[in-house]
Structure 1
Amino acid sequence: MKRILSLLAVACGFQAMAQSNINEVLAAGLDDAERFTTDYIAPASEGFMYSLSSGWYNTADAKPLGGFEISIIGNMAGFKNKDDKKTFEMNVADYDNLKFVDGSTSKLVSTSLGDIENVMVYVEDENGLFREEFELPTGLASENINFVPSGFVQASVGLIKGTEIKARFLPKISTDDYEIGMYGVGIQHELTKHLPADKILPIAISAVIGYTHLDGSYDFTNSNIVAGQDQKLEVDVNTWVFQAVVSTKLPIINFYGGLGYITGKSTTDVLGTYVVQSGPFQQTYEDPFSIDKKANGVTANIGTKLKLGFFRLHADYALAEFNTLSVGVNFGFR
């Protein structure tokens, strides 16, 4: 079974291996391949958008003019108990050519997050003279990975009147197999700075807006069924988060929480030349299809931050469509 290094895990430096031979599904024809790949990839794309959207703040207390903080942040959007994200119902009636080897008309199969192995399908011509069998891909859970990670460096700088600007980035990483990079910008404004009693209030209240962009590509390994060249996935992800944040204002340890809304879009382009060289539908496809996935929903989190001089630690947990743990190591001064 062939494996690919998941783009979802590369973003954070993890070597999460997802068994995948989705290019072989092109042996069933373009329409069937697009239909299957859309259902297969969608949950991972959604989870990645929630993962990328986290970690924008660790307090509602905006930095003063010139204050700054540099953070190394890691996020994990979990799906361990989300069976609806790890599987989907595949009904052969929805496909033109793809059928189950065991004769089933419908069954649960793995998404890119799941763990269902040894699901064999086939395609054949009308006379049954040409037939090709292959195994559907499984997902991250088959490697005991039950979260979608992301990681980046983030910097925050205080401006005037309770305003703080933020930037996050993952430097471009390139190997023979994959390339990935990320950046984002955000703004935080503390509303309590406009109150006369700001200096004596025990809490701070802020509004935060953040935008994150990620793009990457992964080169496929050719299979025995589908040959070709320049076969790769290109992924483009854009997310926005809008949140209201409240936190305590204590010298050493503080607590914070937020309520907001996440929205995003992921586009996955299947690019290259694909030559189906076995089975009844032997054709050549150029840049066969593109898959779009949107995600949006309410998110709420709670966290804590420890300050030890210029060194800080924070951790929070967000409840959303994909619950997300965010942890960070921070350096800076006010």
Structure 2
Amino acid sequence: MKKIGVILIALISTLSSNAQENIDDLLAAGIDDAKRFSTNYVKPANDGVAYGINNGWFNNAKTPKRFGFELSIIGNATFINDEDKQFVLNVRDYENIRFPDNSPSKGVATALGHNDPPQTVIITYDDPIFGNQEQEFELPTGIGSENINLIPTVFLQASFSPFKGTQIKGRFFPKVDVDDVKVGLYGVGLQQDFTTLLPADHLLPITISGLVAYTHLDGSYDFTSSSNVAGENQRVETETNTLLFQAIVGTRFKILNFFGAVGYISGENETSLLGTYTVSDGVFFSEDIVDPFTIESDTKGVTATLGANLKLGFFGLNAAYTIADFSSASLGMNFSF
């Protein structure tokens, strides 16, 4: 199970470490400015992860027979859009941040992008001894610096059909800890084949079903030992909760089937910068900031999926492509009993 989560752990690790990089320094500009920057920086990554963890919930419009059990291994690649790799930093929206060349605004990297060349800002802060002071900081870059252009996710999923046409699903891997990064995921879903409710369902050439699924992901990154700012228990914690609704239509042949679906995703994301941060001028003044801020955002959007399923006895393969704000491709192996 630990190996199943390695790809997602690597992604959360990269996102979290880049999110932390220099954001703790921005606290010198004030909590409001640091939070405003972090909100724009993290939002595309939260959206991409929310879409990624909601793919692969189904591999066919038709559900297994009653008491049927299915085990699946699902790999998914969510593609990063160019427009999600940067945002416009408008200095008028900030109280204590400006560009060294006094530009009114510039495009800077989100957690999914890369600042090339590096981008710096001037932070103004009030020192109780020396008055108004300025210091230059380099803005954090994103996972684009590692040439990462997609968000990979991998799931183990199991399903059981307690009634004809009804399939209960679950996906899960336990929270594991790798290099100060902890991440875990679980989800539950219900797929109902509506054609089984008809008296002559076996005569229809297609199957129509519906799916509703809930997914929860939480992760944390402890960067106390690598932070540029003195303090204790410094970490980034992130949590995503989503609901997915899909209507599915597919063929109902024995070996090869095709399916399509339209759906809607609704999610809530929360990312917190926690711990104690000692902001200091290095000589006379220092201030402890505890649990600086929490960022909350929503992920909402329509999805459309096309796919195919090949079934050979108890073994099956499926592939699908989903068009959404963050489009993705999925591949799954299924074992039915």
Q: TM-score, normalised by structure 2?
A: 0.90
Counterpart in the other structure of 1:83: 82
Match of 1:216 among 216, 219, 228: 219
Deviation per CA, 1:264-315: give whole Å up to 9, x if none: 0011111100112348984221001100010111111001111122221111
- Quick check: 2:125–2:132 contact (8 Å CA) kept in 1? yes
Sequence identity, in percent?
A: 48
User: What letter is aligned with 1:233?
Assistant: V
Do structure 1's residue 169 and structure 2's residue 172 form an aligned pair?
yes
The counterpart of 2:329, out of the listed 314, 325, 334, is: 325
Alignment correspondent of 2:296: 292
1:11 aligns with 2:8: yes
Q: Secondary structure at the match of 2:59?
A: coil
**Distance in 1 between residues matched to 2:170 and 2:227, nearest whole Å:** 45
The Cα shift of 1:222 comes to 5.2
Q: Is structure 2 residue 310 aligned with structure 1 residue 306?
A: yes
SS at match of 1:250: coil
The root-mean-square deviation of aligned C-alpha atoms, in Å, is: 2.2
Shift in alpha-carbon separation, 1:275–1:224, aligned structure 2, 3 A:
same
> Which residue of the partner structure matches residue 37 of structure 1?
38
1:154: how far off? 0.6
Post-superposition offset of 1:224: 6.9
Q: For residue 192 of structure 1, what is the aligned residue in structure 2? A: 195
Tell me, yes or no, if the aligned pair for 2:108 and 2:119 is still in contact at 8 Å: yes
Asked whether the 8 Å contact 2:110–2:142 carries over to 1, the reply is: yes
* Residue type at the aligned position of 1:86: K
CA deviation after TM superposition for structure 1 residue 251, in Å: 1.9
Please list every run of 5 or more consecutive structure 1 residues that lacks an aligned counterpart in the other structure.
1-7
1:63 match: 64
Show the 5 A alignment for 1:48-127. Answer: 48-79=49-80, 82-117=81-116, 118-125=118-125
Write the distance in 2 (CA, Å) between the matches of 1:211 and 1:15. Answer: 20
* Pair 100,207 (structure 1): closer, same or farther in 2 beyond 3 Å: same
Q: Distance in 1 between matches of 2:265 and 2:204?
A: 29
The reply on whether 1:180 has 2:202 as its aligned counterpart is no
Equivalent position to 2:147, from 127, 135, 144: 144
Q: Tell me the distance in 2 between the aligned counterparts of 1:60 and 1:144.
A: 37
* Deviation of the 1:223 alpha carbon: 5.9
1:3 is aligned to: none
Q: Residues 267 and 258 from structure 1, CA distance in 2 versus in 1: closer, same or farther, beyond 3 angstroms?
A: same
Q: Distance in 2 between matches of 1:222 and 1:100?
A: 30
Q: Return the TM-score normalized by structure 1.
A: 0.90
> Alpha-carbon deviation of 1:204?
0.9
CA distance in 2, matches of 1:255, 1:77: 21
Contact 2:224 2:233 in 1 (8 A): no
- CA deviations on 1:225-278 (whole Å, 9 max, x unpaired) are 521111111111100011110111122221111011110001111110011234
Please tell me whether the aligned partners of residues 63 and 159 of structure 1 are also in contact (alpha carbons under 8 angstroms).
Answer: no
Deviation at 1:211, TM superposition (A): 0.4
- Measure how far apart 1:83 and its partner are: 3.1
CA–CA separation in structure 1 for the residues paired with 2:197 and 2:262: 21
Tell me the distance in 1 between the aligned counterparts of 2:29 and 2:306: 47
Alpha carbons of 1:182 and 1:119: their partners in 2 closer, same or farther (altered >3 Å)? same
- Unaligned runs of at least 5 residues, structure 2: none
CA 1:21/1:74 → structure 2, altered by over 3 Å: closer, same or farther?
Answer: farther
How many angstroms does 1:97 deviate by?
0.9
Is the Cα–Cα contact under 8 Å of residues 74 and 326 in structure 1 kept in the other structure?
yes
Paired residues in the alignment total 324
Distance in 1 (alpha carbons) for counterparts of 2:14 and 2:268: 24
CA contact (8 A) 1:225 1:276 kept: no
* Alpha carbons 1:70, 1:154 under 8 Å: kept: yes
In structure 2, do the counterparts of structure 1 residues 15 and 54 end up closer, same or farther at CA, with 3 Å as the change threshold?
Answer: closer
- Corresponding residue SS for 1:283: strand
Return the alpha-carbon distance in structure 2 between the equivalents of residues 104 and 189 of structure 1: 56
Contact 2:29 2:125 in 1 (8 A): no
Larger displacement relative to structure 2 (8-17 or 260-269): 8-17
What is the CA–CA distance in structure 2 between the aligned matches of 1:66 and 1:38, rounded to whole Å? 46
Asked if the contact 2:263–2:302 (Cα under 8 Å) also holds between the matched residues in 1, the reply is yes
CA distance in 2, matches of 1:91, 1:23: 20
Matches within 5 A, 1:201-240: 201-221=204-224, 225-240=228-243
1:129-155 CA deviation, whole Å, 9 max, x = no partner?
743222111112221111222222110
